Structure 1
Amino acid sequence: MANSTKYRKTNSMPDALDELPLAIDRAAPTPLSVQVATGLRAAATAGRLRGGDRLPSSRALATRLGVSRTVITAAYDQLHAEGWLSGRRGSGTYLTASPARGPRPLASAPPSRPASALLDLAAGAPCVEAIDRAAWRRAWRAAGDRIPLTRKDRAGDPEYRAAIAEHLLRHRGLGAGSDTRMLATAGASAAVGELAAALLRPGDTVAMEDPGYQRAAGAFRAAGVRVLPVPVDAAGLRVAEIPRGVAAVYCTPAHQFPLGARMPAARRVELVEFACRTGTLVIEDDYDGELRYDTAPLPLLATLGPDVVVHVGTTSKILSPVLGIGWLVGPPRVTEAVLAHREATGTGPAVAGQHVVAELARHGDLARHLRRLRREMPPRRALVTERLRGFDVRGDDAGSHVVVALASAAEEVRVVAAAARGGVLLEGLGRHHLGPRHTFGIALGYAAIGRADLPYALDVVADCLRAIGRSMVP
């Protein structure tokens, strides 16, 4: 009987191999180093190891397999040469996403997993990996130390509103210091719902980008408001095609969702002039306006037309949706109507999240976090364009997502399904349309996923695109 050794889990090493049996056969003619390299390569090819997984040190693995360290070193050197492994100074040896010499076949992807376990490349989620956990814990502790309220200010916690006013002035150039212009909200979608309930009547119509943000559309419809689609182009919402007689226009000018266009200054002026001329309210959703890292941001619509524009924002894209808060800045007539609606319905944003953000701002942690995000996002986006080179990747050099254009709805469905089988969550553009689908592709986010998992996930996407023949930019 062949003498074999198996490495199994111990309690002393929290590495990727802890749950992975690795067998060697001392009686086999194949050198032990080759057997180790073959076993690790096979585990990676089958998806039992993933890009970013940390391997044990050569000494630790040698001890566990009962072989000399030279055997493990030779195996690691071979896998390094093939592109399977990479070393990080002071951290260890890690599995790369795939061998550098060529794409990994789809058959090598991990088995299908539930959506909650997939590597998240859907757009619209924050980069929680960039949060300073010590600052996060400190803010929550400080928020918990506050005396519980007996009644809450329906406009929002004064310290939170002051912190957001400072944030908007510093990072977005919007003066919002007056209590009559600034309200706390439960997020951008909640703000849209409150505006619809407080200012619009059932049967009124709202113009909205198509494709566009479906949760905003849902908030309008829940208030009985009709949503009319307006086409978008490389400059965002096409003002000339806004239907006549609409009560409001909803748009995302800083970074159109989901196509990623930035509305240029001329079109911003055109939209504000339209609103002033027709008496139409413009709702400016600045969902990730802070995440501009290529050029200085353009003036907000709210600074160009403070009497006709309501500016809404959220912490869910720059911090975490667990906070459940955002803000609304608008003319006094708008904020007063929203406050009256809150008083009549007893509603308003929760205070706990406001306290946390106020504490982050108090110690300068909010500003430091935004600086970290602006450093974190560019290399992630660069990796996306590098790994998807040759495909039709679109979108402004900002925010946290791009669009990979496809030719049809069928291609979109196939790529999303194939990626899910490979362990990666993608989101097609189809679900973002208000009317008939006319733009096809993938809205690919690169913020939510861990930095170590991103290369592997992008290689899965590239394999899926090649499988449908999308190897060249149209």
Structure 2
Amino acid sequence: MSQPDLPLLIDRTSATPLAVQVADGLRAAATEGRLRGGDRLPSSRTLAAQLGVSRTVITAAYDQLHAEGWLSGRHGSGTYLTASPAAAPHSPASVTAEDPAADLLDLVPGTPCVAAIDRAAWRRAWRAAGDRIPAAHKNRAGEPDYCEVVAEHLLRHRGLGAGSDTVVLATNGTGSAVSELAAALLRPGDAVAVEEPGYLRAVGALRAAGIRVVPVPLDVDGLRVDLIPPNVRAVYCTPAHQFPLGARLPATRRVALVDFARRTGALVIEDDYDGELRYDTAPLPLLATLAPDVVVHLGTTSKILSTTLGVGWLVATPEIANAVVAHREWTGTHPAPAGQRVLVELARHGDLARHLRRLRREMPPRRALLVDELRAHGLDVSGDDAGSHVTVPLPTAAQEERAVAAARTHGVLLDGLARHHSGPPREFGIPLGYAALPPADLATAARIAAHCIATS
């Protein structure tokens, strides 16, 4: 094996002889795993020159370690470490948590349909992104061509035109964007209204920034705008497809929410996490289209493509965008460029648009399969004909818990509504995602889930 680096420290003021210090340092390096059995040590002349000591010092240290059995000499080859203790085992706590979906059929909402990705197009995009010259400087706002691609994507697929009154920024995803908005625009202790139940990662991002979260109830039409307290600084919501209940905020409430924001000076954070996945009817206009002056629009690639890219976007007024970029300058953070470049290449060759068309064809039969199975077991299903999940309401927390536990024993991973509350749970049921599994596995998981929920 090659000679290892030996960070040995020599203290010429110490009463301990130099040869003993060298021997102690080599012994410690072997004990701590910095040296391994079979490692070739530098020659006595080389190590003496590195440490600035006489060769006699190194020879004496090597002789001592030879006598202890740490070293062996091979004629014409050099001096080698004979053995070293086995490395200490890693604590299980230091390893990433076990993926519960690894051995279970996953019906948890929020997982993208990666099976719909054209693998040839995926590989082509990554190769093309890798052919670009590596960046030497960080672009805090995002790659310019990525922001242009996102602007075109939003115009074509969501009807949102980013013009002179708004700016597109790259983000590392929705949670990261919420964190940045909280840090750049709000102060610890400020109140932000959130949907209840809602997206807990956004709630966690707000709370991590010291923001006071104010839960606002929902009904069949989504967020109860009339119940938002007047003193909140912002409102976080998912109006196109409420997560996790699946409602679509109607036009009257959208107008009311915009009026509330303009009247109170609050900011509306619109999370359009799966707005591209509507296949029953044309989506209602985005809040950001209605009121770009008071709405920040968030989007992500993690629901329409893959979490591998790790990128999203933010559309806001120049004032807000500049505040976010200033926060990034202050903290040294920036959105990852690799995922941005891959999305640019997917869009450049038309593969992104083709993928979205494929998803819109793929999702309806999956939804129908799941819904038919649930209704065949006498279960109610809520949620718009959009996105990639539906919800089965249940009357009690106990029934929800029994359904989740029973499904797990039969190899199916389910989620429950109770954990999506930031306050005491008031809605119970099972949100079911239908994007992650292949159709055959989805059919099996749907039968098991429907039975477990119906008998809970």
CA-atom RMSD in angstroms: 1.2
Corresponding residue for residue 418 of structure 1: 406
1:116 CA displacement: 2.4
Corresponding residue for residue 395 of structure 2: 407
- In the alignment, the residues of structure 2 paired with residue 117 and residue 257 of structure 1 have an alpha-carbon distance, to the nearest angstrom, of 26
Asked if the contact 2:190/2:211 (under 8 Å) is kept, the reply is yes
For residue 178 of structure 2, the aligned residue among 168, 181, 192 is 192
**Residue 344 of structure 1: SS of its match in structure 2?**
helix
Letter in 1 for 2:206: F
1:466 CA displacement: 3.2
Q: Deviations over 1:69-115 (max 9, x none)?
A: xxxxxxxxxxxxxxxxxxxxxxxxxxxxxxxxxxxxxxxxxxxx954
1:331 CA displacement: 1.0
Q: Which of structures 1 and 2 has the bigger CA Rg?
A: 2
Q: Deviations over 1:365-396 (max 9, x none)?
A: 00000000000000011111111112011111
Q: Deviations over 1:291-349 (max 9, x none)?
A: 00000010000011110000001000000011100000011111010010011111011
**Residue 449 of structure 2: SS of its match in structure 1?**
helix
Corresponding residue for residue 141 of structure 1: 127
**Residue 321 of structure 1: SS of its match in structure 2?**
coil
Corresponding residue for residue 455 of structure 2: 467
**Residue 308 of structure 2: SS of its match in structure 1?**
helix
Q: Deviations over 1:172-225 (max 9, x none)?
A: 000115596110000011100000000000000100000000000000011110
* Percent of aligned pairs sharing the same letter: 72
Corresponding residue for residue 354 of structure 1: 340
Corresponding residue for residue 440 of structure 1: 428
For residue 315 of structure 1, the aligned residue among 294, 298, 301 is 301
Asked if the contact 1:180/1:336 (under 8 Å) is kept, the reply is no
- In the alignment, the residues of structure 1 paired with residue 186 and residue 273 of structure 2 have an alpha-carbon distance, to the nearest angstrom, of 22
1:152 CA displacement: 2.2
Letter in 2 for 1:438: R
Q: Does 2:372 correspond to 1:395?
A: no
Asked if the contact 1:284/1:309 (under 8 Å) is kept, the reply is yes
Q: Does 2:380 correspond to 1:431?
A: no
1:411 and 1:357, CA in 2 relative to 1: closer, same or farther beyond 3 A? same
- In the alignment, the residues of structure 2 paired with residue 177 and residue 354 of structure 1 have an alpha-carbon distance, to the nearest angstrom, of 21
Q: Does 2:349 correspond to 1:363?
A: yes
Q: Deviations over 1:15-51 (max 9, x none)?
A: xxxxxxxxxxxxxxxxxxxxxxxxxxxxxxxxxxxxx
1:424 and 1:241, CA in 2 relative to 1: closer, same or farther beyond 3 A? same
Q: 1:27-426 alignment to 2 at 5 Å? A: 115-178=101-164, 181-389=167-375, 390-426=378-414
Letter in 1 for 2:160: L
1:407 CA displacement: 1.4
**Residue 297 of structure 2: SS of its match in structure 1?**
strand
1:179 and 1:279, CA in 2 relative to 1: closer, same or farther beyond 3 A? closer
1:460 CA displacement: 0.5
- In the alignment, the residues of structure 2 paired with residue 383 and residue 173 of structure 1 have an alpha-carbon distance, to the nearest angstrom, of 30
- In the alignment, the residues of structure 2 paired with residue 338 and residue 235 of structure 1 have an alpha-carbon distance, to the nearest angstrom, of 32
1:236 and 1:180, CA in 2 relative to 1: closer, same or farther beyond 3 A? closer
**Residue 205 of structure 2: SS of its match in structure 1?**
helix
Letter in 1 for 2:349: H
**Residue 440 of structure 2: SS of its match in structure 1?**
coil
**Residue 439 of structure 2: SS of its match in structure 1?**
coil
Asked if the contact 1:253/1:286 (under 8 Å) is kept, the reply is yes
- In the alignment, the residues of structure 2 paired with residue 321 and residue 345 of structure 1 have an alpha-carbon distance, to the nearest angstrom, of 24
- In the alignment, the residues of structure 2 paired with residue 179 and residue 350 of structure 1 have an alpha-carbon distance, to the nearest angstrom, of 26
Letter in 1 for 2:190: D
1:159 CA displacement: 1.1
- In the alignment, the residues of structure 2 paired with residue 415 and residue 180 of structure 1 have an alpha-carbon distance, to the nearest angstrom, of 46
Q: Does 2:441 correspond to 1:453?
A: yes
After the TM superposition, which of the residue ranges 114-123 and 336-345 deviates more from structure 2?
114-123
Letter in 1 for 2:323: A
List structure 1 runs of 4+ shifted beyond 6 angstroms: none
Number of aligned residue pairs: 356
1:463 CA displacement: 1.8
- In the alignment, the residues of structure 1 paired with residue 350 and residue 441 of structure 2 have an alpha-carbon distance, to the nearest angstrom, of 30
- In the alignment, the residues of structure 1 paired with residue 101 and residue 159 of structure 2 have an alpha-carbon distance, to the nearest angstrom, of 39
Asked if the contact 2:100/2:413 (under 8 Å) is kept, the reply is no
- In the alignment, the residues of structure 1 paired with residue 403 and residue 220 of structure 2 have an alpha-carbon distance, to the nearest angstrom, of 24
Asked if the contact 2:104/2:411 (under 8 Å) is kept, the reply is yes
- In the alignment, the residues of structure 2 paired with residue 284 and residue 260 of structure 1 have an alpha-carbon distance, to the nearest angstrom, of 15
Asked if the contact 2:165/2:318 (under 8 Å) is kept, the reply is no
**Residue 183 of structure 1: SS of its match in structure 2?**
strand
Letter in 2 for 1:401: H
Asked if the contact 1:127/1:318 (under 8 Å) is kept, the reply is yes
After the TM superposition, which of the residue ranges 459-468 and 178-187 deviates more from structure 2?
178-187
**Residue 134 of structure 2: SS of its match in structure 1?**
coil
**Residue 453 of structure 1: SS of its match in structure 2?**
helix
Corresponding residue for residue 9 of structure 1: none
TM-score, normalization by structure 2: 0.77
